[in-house]
Amino acid sequence: MFAGLLNKGLRGSLVLLISFFAVMAVLTRLSPYTIENITYPNLFFNYLANTVSSETLILLINCLFVAISAALLNMLCVKEEVSDKQNYHPVFLYLVIAFSTVNANQLQPMLSANLFLFFAFYRIMGTYRSEHANNRIFEGAFWLALSAYFTISSVTWIPVYFVALTVLRPFVWREWVIACLGFLSPIVMSDALAYLSDFNNGYLWEAAGFYFTHMKVPALSEYYLFEIILLTVLFIFALLQNMAFGLGNTVKKQRAKTLLIWLLVFSLPQIFEPGANSSTILLSFAMPVSIFTGDLLFGIRQKKITNTLLVLILLAAAIVVCGKFGLL
């Protein structure tokens, strides 16, 4: 069923992925209720939220973020060889996670943060054994820093970029300087515009300070509990399997998964961030969970077991959808 298609590369899984995307988009548009509200303020998110009021346009923007992020994740897994080229479980899992968090009447800032994170990760992975990597290093740093203006929680991912430089490349001080310039560029541009307009001057520093000094217990919705527990169990099992049998059959895969583990570690503070809820937590860990769990599902030889696990994951997403329709 699902496993057979997702194990056959793009040709085998494309119809399934598009169909799932379309069905979830339609169900999201028709759903009359919102399970969780986004209450934590972010600069660009506030601007977009106040500017865009049409539910159809909000859904289109959210779906655009999901589609581009899924494409970047696919490029990361296939082109940069983070996973097997025939394995499309990570993309499918990301679509399940992303659409579980999408609402038709509210923009989801973490979707935009994931888009920038995936792009930054894709650019930095492309520097492995590359002689001319300066442009990629700068671009990845620039977009990752820019994501902090969509959601300030992205600042916890910034150290991972320097870990990536250490893991993927020999130390070259010029590349570290270029990375620092990439991170500073959007900050300098933002502060310059803020100074000229006398609005939100020093936003990032104040927002980061507030973020780290107002940590609290997240507010979890019962509709997401089964999905969170199921994905957590599968991810832990996948992580233990990788640690026991190796992170990959190539050096590049091993280093990529090492970075995913570091990303997991630096994402942990986002569980306790101000305004944290079930949807933000799912999206904070979407990349490592999708890739590690996707590799686990791809590696299971008995398709019946894989299909059973996929059905359970879809059932968890269905519970969230039923909650949005007020059926539970």
Complete DSSP assignment for 25-88: HHHHHH----S----S--HHHHHHHHH---HHHHHHHHHHHHHHHHHHHHHHHHTT-SS-TT--
Which residue stretches of the chain have pLDDT < 50?
none
To which residue do tokens 């028709």 refer?
Answer: 30
- Pair 223, 328: CB distance under 8 Å: yes
Q: What local confidence, expressed as pLDDT, does residue 43 receive?
A: 61
Task: Compute the radius of gyration of the chain from its Cα atoms.
Answer: 19
Residue ranges making up the domain that contains 183: 2-324
Q: What local confidence, expressed as pLDDT, does residue 285 receive?
A: 95
Separation CA 294–CA 88 (nearest Å):
8
Q: Which two tokens stand for residue 248?
A: 């990959």
Domains held by the chain: number: 1
- Pair 106, 34: CB distance under 8 Å: yes
Q: What local confidence, expressed as pLDDT, does residue 44 receive?
A: 64
Q: What local confidence, expressed as pLDDT, does residue 203 receive?
A: 77
